[in-house]
Amino acid sequence: MQKDVYSICFMCTVRCPIKVTVEDGTVKWIEGNPHQLKGALCAKGSAGTALLRDNERLRYPMIREGARGEGKWKRVSWDEALNYTAEKLSEVIDKNGPESVVFGERQNLNTHISKTFMRAIGSPNHYTHDALCKGSVNTAFRSLTGYTDAQVNMDFANAKHVVFYGRNFFESLQLKPIQALMGAKEKGAKITYIDIRSTVTASHADRFWMIRPGTDLALNYALIHVILKENLYDEEFVNKWFSGLKEYRAFVESHTPEWAEEETGIPADEIVAFAREISKDKPRVIFNYGYRGANHDNEICFRRSLIILNGLMGSVEAKGGLYFKKGPKDAGYGAFKPLTEQKGLPKVDIQRFDGVGASKLPVCDPAHGVGSMLPFAILEEDPYPIKAAISNRWDPLLSIPDYNLNKRAFDKLDLIVTIDINFSETAWYSDVILPESIYLERADSLMMANSLKPTIFMRRQCIPPRFDTKPQWEIIKSLAERMGIGKWFPYEGIEDIWNYQLQDMGIKIEDFEAKGFVTLSDKDILWDRKNDLKLKTVSGKFELISNLLENNGFSSCPKYESVEAPPEGSFRLTVGRCAVHTHVSTQNNPYLNELVPENVLWINREEAEKFGISDGQYVEVSSDQGFGKIKAFVTDFIHPEAVFMLHGFGRQVPATTRCYNKGASDTALQKNVTDMVGGSPGLHDTFVRVRPLTE
Amino acid sequence: MSEYYLFHDSAKCIACLSCEVHCKENKRLPVGPRLCRIQTVGPQMVNQIPKMDFIFMPCYHCERPWCVAACPTGAMQKRAKDGIVFTDDELCVGCKACMRACPWGAPQWNDETGKVVKCDYCMDRVDDGLMPACVTKCVTHCLHFGKPSLISDVRRERHAKAMAAVGWEVTLSQPVPGPKRKKPTTKKQAKAKKKQKEA
């Protein structure tokens, strides 16, 4: 028998709505939900079935037998694995306190359950991958508007001019925004693309600037300079909502286009021409505020400059610009409830491991924490010893810069627990593995997608698990029960969780049957941008001089500092992604591995010739942190100061045979540097040397 | 040529390779054969933009297919009712004559079966009134399946939209020429230039 099940993809964190055709207990076909995506699906989405069939994924619970990372495992029952984990966790807590346990995860639909678990054991140390993607974007938004970046989105469909900084939009697949921008482009919208190399996005652009690596901020200061000097901004919006404009005007005074030309390599007259051109389309203008572009330890300044450019264009709460996401309340519904809001669930007052909310990182978002601090917290026992790490669908060893440093830190832990679907680097280095069912084999908590039309999506189970695996919410509950905190997980099955989340909304599970989602508003909800913007800063204004920053001892306009040029014979390492892989999680997928089996090192042709490197030749790339072997890709289309590689390769887990030892690992080369104001890692703050190999 | 045409609107293609996986997944193919391919050509600088061309290569379902003529067993066939060129697995002996004969490399080798496999426009889906897998799930919907006239229809419609939106001089395929760009300079070069100017 054949049936269609509406669900949500999880091949990447975008979580596109899908329609899954199931026949005889197996998945026959997956397509994008026709009501949302007209059937469209990306390569990763279609390769979901290859993941389902893959026998190299985690298939049953395991406890380590040999040394860490040796690959000797004992297959155990769920009971044994859970008992072992609960016992060891309790031992760590008894000896070192609950704060010695850290729980890290890729933000997911069940994050409210993981957070409930941590609060129930009494530890403040839950963190997500989020800060490693965009910690500084989050902080920048809060400093200017009082909202996090996750509460804001971009209306590509109605935009007239979109500007990307290193954001390789068309190869970082988010299906709905891509369809929206393609539609706008057909109606004449323009794209300006600024990057240190050429990409598919550059190919689709109307203007391309190859910028000197690390100088995106200088370009923005010059743009703001021109826009203010020539009165190219949306006066009505700016006069009504901006505070601190006078001080900011004085700050950018010296940042002329001529000054920026020297920094960026972009001709001054082009900067001026661009500012004039784009201002004609205001407010239907988007300066894409993240991710990527220059990732340095002053990223907060870059992200703020991007958001300020949007503000100057008046493209806030405007059609074709940025908008604040609206939730159930805005649509006249009751609240969507997470389990963390249970009455009596303990609040934890202990300082966090990463120093967020304390003097170390006073303005970063404690809802996500700052994961890049983890290795230092463990190694230096600052602010206290960390003894156990749980990682859920998250590979800290390969995602936090400096793989070797991460390993040294993990060596100090008494307990490493991994919940995952694949043999990640962290899973391979763990003491116990609790294997999760893949998204096609499980249901999850509902997804509340706040938007112009707030919508709730449902991930339904399509087929029974192929192997001895469980969903995360069941694993956490089973662990909690064994640790005497089971009462905070008041559910038996997924429907209990759904009913809990929906209890105040007047929406029933059956309502999801027809399309896989429930929309809370027929019309776009936009606030009155002239009179009622509902900004959440202290002053209620768009704060160029930020109370959040200044009150915590940070300047809103710190002096511009030029990034160092690489020393002779070195290059700035830059990283990014391609259309067919998700971070570190798909490299071993048979179909996706076939398309992009390894990464290559982009290097400028003239530089390559200096070092005697030819296209396709193996080179050794090394930094103070580590080294790797990788094929050179010699091209005119990368800035001579930079080299570039895809993230997520150079894998060291022999059990993942398809991607084992293919390409080089950017994580092994990168230095762990954090923007101590914003919270993002300085992913581009590493210099590497490149040497041809002769074999 | 079959009475169908699969039109790839390269101006909207983002080379995400999704079509390749949609196809393989639908036919449950092992690693190896790729029945359609996106070939990227470039980039090269056109009006200061590093332009790439994306060429979609499925089987072209020729009017007088080289592969059918070359096949010694009759496995490679042209479907009488609509001209779709396909292989009958039962008859294929794996001699690869079709692979040699095809000027475009359309027939692919399947290691698992020891036979040839090729694009058949998902004729089982077409017979059910559906589109080929690659077309159905294309991310930007830049793949179109139907009568050959759809090429001109798609292009005319887009041109009309672009004209209506921004005036006669702008279409997607002809980006507005921007001001002349100099080569990117490194900081060192910029400083040297400045010194020169000052001197």
pLDDT at B199: 67
Q: Which residue in the set B50, B161, B187 is minimally distant from A186, CB to CB? A: B161
Selected for mutation to probe chain A from B137, B173, B181 (highest A CB count within 10 Å) is: B137
Token digits for A669?
A: 């080369």
Interface of A with B in 589-648 (CB under 8 A): 590-595, 637, 639-641
Q: What is the mean pLDDT of residues B116-133?
A: 97
Q: Which residue in the set A30, A202, A265 is minimally distant from B184, CB to CB? A: A265
Q: Cβ contacts of residue B51 below 8 Å, gap of 6+?
A: A203, B42, B43, B44, B45
Q: Cβ contacts of residue A126 below 8 Å, gap of 6+?
A: A102, A103, A104, A105, A114, A115, A118, A369
Give counts: helices (H), strands (E), chain B. 7, 8
* Distance (Å, whole) CA A281 – CA A528: 20
Q: In terms of CA atoms, which chain A residue is nearest residue B53?
A: A203
Q: Cβ contacts of residue B184 below 8 Å, gap of 6+?
A: A210, A211, A212, A265, A639, A640
At A603, phi and psi to the nearest 5? -145, 140
Tell me the percentage of chain B whose pLDDT exceeds 90.
72
* Distance (Å, whole) CA A525 – CA A324: 9
pLDDT at B172: 47
Q: Does the pLDDT value for residue A663 go beyond 50?
A: yes
Give B188's pLDDT tier (boundaries 50, 70, 90): confident
- This prediction has a pTM of 0.94
At A158, phi and psi to the nearest 5? -110, 10
Residue A688's SS3 state is strand
CA angle A90, A96, A98 (to 5 degrees): 60
Q: Which chain B residues have a beta carbon less than 8 Å from that of A203?
A: 42-43, 49-52
Could you read off the pLDDT of A473-524 as tens digits, one per residue?
A: 999 999 999 999 999 999 999 999 999 999 999 999 999 999 999 999 999 9
Interface contact flag, B49 A206, Cβ < 8 Å: yes
Interface contact flag, A186 B172, Cβ < 8 Å: yes
Q: Which residue in the set B21, B176, B190 is minimally distant from A262, CB to CB? A: B190
Could you check whether the bond before residue A384 is cis, i.e. omega within 30 degrees of 0? no
* Distance (Å, whole) CA A83 – CA A64: 14
Selected for mutation to probe chain B from A41, A53, A161, A588 (highest B CB count within 10 Å) is: A41
Residue A571, H or E segment: strand A570-576
Q: Does the pLDDT value for residue B64 go beyond 50?
A: yes
Cβ A303 vs Cβ A291: under 8 Å: no
Could you read off the pLDDT of A145-164 as tens digits, one per residue?
A: 999 999 999 999 999 999 99
Report the mean per-residue pLDDT for chain A: 97
Could you read off the pLDDT of B41-52 as tens digits, one per residue?
A: 999 999 999 999
Structure ipTM: 0.96
According to DSSP, residue B171 is labeled: B
Q: Cβ contacts of residue A79 below 8 Å, gap of 6+?
A: none
Q: Which residue in the set A31, A182, A637 is minimally distant from B137, CB to CB? A: A31
* Distance (Å, whole) CA A513 – CA A517: 8
Structure-derived torsion over alpha carbons of residues A425, A428, A431, A435, reported in degrees to the nearest 10: 90
